[in-house]
């Protein structure tokens, strides 16, 4: 298998060198060159449309990161953007008081999300997960938190502890997905003081294989929360409006007390939600303070309402599941064909290709070779994050991607 020529990313590198003098680290969070393959991936993008991206050097890619999740329909989705333009042009979106669109969206959530009775709207996933913990603590008058999954960058949950006093996270304890015994042991020690169990109902740990719930796992967590009077919170930032219109809680049939939503709800516009049972949510009306100048901005509410309208009208999730299931079945066939230790996990809308770990660290070289070949061929995945399928991925796009995966696995095998 012939090696593909390295991409020209000169302009990206020049912009990054300029950015380092302007921004700490050049770019923040999971967009740093080291979070991909440094020297191979672009750092700055220019445009996006549908499922395709173009970087500042003119390289075009079929994209499977979808902005790290928010793009459920496609980039620059005309109907959504036009609805927002109209709102901004005709009515405005940032005022001292609230516009009616918050009510419309809250009503819609109660129709779709099993736990939804009352809702609070914010901007980011970290905003929402942190607000959910504050609500749970205020409601229960307890302090400790059991967590499973990535829940953002705020003090109580961020993995990197620089700048954070230990007392701000010392009452938060982590358990592993599908490990019910671990949670039982933690709750045997801390259960009477536990305000919340917050977890991703579908397992997508950072840099690791994805997991579906083992039989009885979600039901077991629900029972433990009830036994100790803890608030069960589902972090559905990634799974809401992607695994089903009602999220993973609808798909798997286990209802939490609170749910956190974001990403796909507005196709890229900044909005997140804490929604849940009335008695728990009402703690936010008189026991705590949650506010921001920008939380009530109606541009994102309008985007969310239009996105949900399209999701329902065009059977978007059914489309994604159907083509995604065909797609991942063929990926698995390619993995079986090329025995290089690759592993496919996840479900049709969200999937991840990783490599079996070994003591020699050879899996790291295989991962680098595989994802280098994909990006050079024009397919945007991350070596360290799962991929998504959007509505605008066509069957042709997916077939092109399958060919690239097959060729990249073949290259990795022969190297």
Residues 253 and 136 in one domain: yes
Percentages (nearest 5) of helix, strand, coil residues in the chain: 45, 15, 40
Q: Which of 292, 313, 334 is the last residue of a domain?
A: 313
Query: How many CB atoms neighbour CB 228 within 10 A?
Result: 19
pTM greater than the 0.95 cutoff: yes
Q: What is the CATH number of the domain that holds 58?
A: 3.90.1150.10
Strand partners, 194: 144
Q: How far apart are CA 303 and CA 87, in angstroms?
A: 10
Closest by alpha carbon to 144, among 220, 195, 184? 195
Q: Which residues of 90-104 are buried (b: 16+ CB within 10 A; e: fewer)?
A: eeebeeeeebebbee
Residues 241 and 265 in one domain: yes
- By residue range, what is the domain housing residue 133? 78-313
Q: 52: helix, coil or strand?
A: strand
Q: Note whether residue 277 is domain-resident.
A: yes
Contact 16, 44 (CB under 8 A): yes
Q: Note whether residue 3 is domain-resident.
A: no
Q: Note whether residue 299 is domain-resident.
A: yes
Q: Using CB atoms within 10 A of its CB, is residue 193 exposed (0-12), middle (13-18) or buried (19+)?
A: middle
Q: How far apart are CA 192 and CA 13, in angstroms?
A: 53
- pLDDT tens for the chain, 415 residues long, are 677 899 999 999 999 999 999 999 999 989 999 999 999 999 999 999 999 999 999 999 999 999 999 999 999 999 999 999 999 999 999 999 999 999 999 999 999 999 999 999 999 999 999 999 999 999 999 999 999 999 999 999 999 999 999 999 999 999 999 999 999 999 999 999 999 999 999 999 988 999 999 999 999 999 999 999 999 999 999 999 999 999 999 999 999 999 999 999 999 999 999 999 999 999 999 999 999 999 999 999 999 999 999 999 999 999 999 999 999 999 999 999 999 999 999 999 999 999 999 889 999 999 999 999 999 999 999 999 999 999 999 999 999 999 999 999 999 998 7
Q: Which helix (H) or strand (E) holds 344?
A: strand 342-347
Residues 170 and 281 in one domain: yes
Q: Note whether residue 114 is domain-resident.
A: yes
Residues 361 and 285 in one domain: no
Residues 325 and 382 in one domain: yes
CB neighbour list of residue 169: distance below 8 Å, 6 or more residues apart: 155, 156, 157, 161
Q: Which of 313, 346, 369 is the last residue of a domain?
A: 313
Q: Per the structure block, which two tokens stand in for 7? A: 């991409």
Q: What is the CATH number of the domain that holds 126?
A: 3.40.640.10
Q: Note whether residue 183 is domain-resident.
A: yes
CA 163 to chain CA centroid, Å, is 25
Contact 62, 51 (CB under 8 A): yes
Q: Which of 261, 282, 313 is the last residue of a domain?
A: 313
- Strands of 350-355's sheet in order across: 342-347, 350-355, 387-388
Q: Total structural domains in the chain?
A: 2
Q: Per the structure block, which two tokens stand in for 268? A: 């890229």
């Amino acid at each position: 298998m012939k090696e593909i020529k390295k991409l020209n990313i000169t302009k990206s590198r020049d912009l990054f060198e300029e950015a380092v003098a302007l921004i700490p680290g050049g770019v923040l969070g999971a967009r740093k060159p080291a979070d991909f393959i440094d020297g191979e991936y672009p750092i700055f993008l220019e445009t996006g449309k549908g499922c395709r991206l173009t970087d500042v050097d003119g390289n075009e890619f079929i994209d499977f990161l979808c902005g790290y999740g928010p793009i459920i329909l496609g980039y620059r989705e005309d109907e959504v953007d036009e609805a927002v333009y109209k709102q901004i042009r005709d009515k405005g979106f940032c005022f001292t008081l609230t516009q009616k669109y918050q009510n419309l969206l809250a009503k819609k959530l109660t129709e779709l999300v099993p736990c939804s009775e009352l809702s609070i709207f914010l901007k980011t996933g970290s905003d929402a997960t942190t607000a959910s913990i504050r609500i749970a603590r205020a409601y229960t008058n307890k302090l400790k938190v059991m967590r499973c999954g990535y829940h953002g960058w705020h003090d109580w949950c961020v993995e990197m502890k620089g700048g954070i006093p230990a007392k701000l996270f010392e009452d938060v304890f982590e358990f592993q997905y599908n490990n019910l015994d671990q949670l039982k042991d933690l709750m045997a020690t801390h259960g009477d003081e536990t305000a919340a169990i917050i977890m991703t109902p579908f397992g997508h740990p950072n840099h690791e294989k994805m997991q579906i719930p083992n039989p009885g796992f979600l039901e077991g967590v629900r029972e433990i929360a009830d036994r100790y009077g803890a608030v069960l919170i589902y972090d559905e930032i990634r799974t809401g409006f992607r695994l089903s219109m009602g999220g993973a809680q609808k798909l798997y049939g286990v209802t939490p007390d609170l749910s956190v939503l974001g990403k796909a709800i507005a196709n890229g516009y900044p909005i997140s939600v804490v929604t849940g049972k009335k008695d728990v949510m009402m703690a936010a009306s008189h026991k705590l303070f949650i506010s921001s100048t920008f939380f009530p901005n109606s541009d994102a509410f309008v985007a969310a309402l239009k996105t949900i309208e399209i999701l329902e009208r065009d059977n978007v999730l059914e489309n994604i599941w159907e083509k995604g299931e065909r797609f991942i079945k063929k990926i698995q066939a390619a993995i079986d064909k090329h025995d290089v230790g690759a592993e496919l996990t996840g479900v049709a809308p969200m999937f991840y290709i990783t490599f079996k770990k070994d003591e020699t660290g050879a899996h790291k070289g295989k991962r680098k070779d595989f994802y280098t070949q994909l990006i050079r061929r024009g397919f945007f995945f991350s070596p360290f994050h799962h991929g998504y399928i959007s509505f605008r991925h066509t069957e042709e796009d997916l077939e092109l991607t399958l060919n690239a995966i097959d060729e990249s696995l073949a290259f990795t095998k022969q190297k």
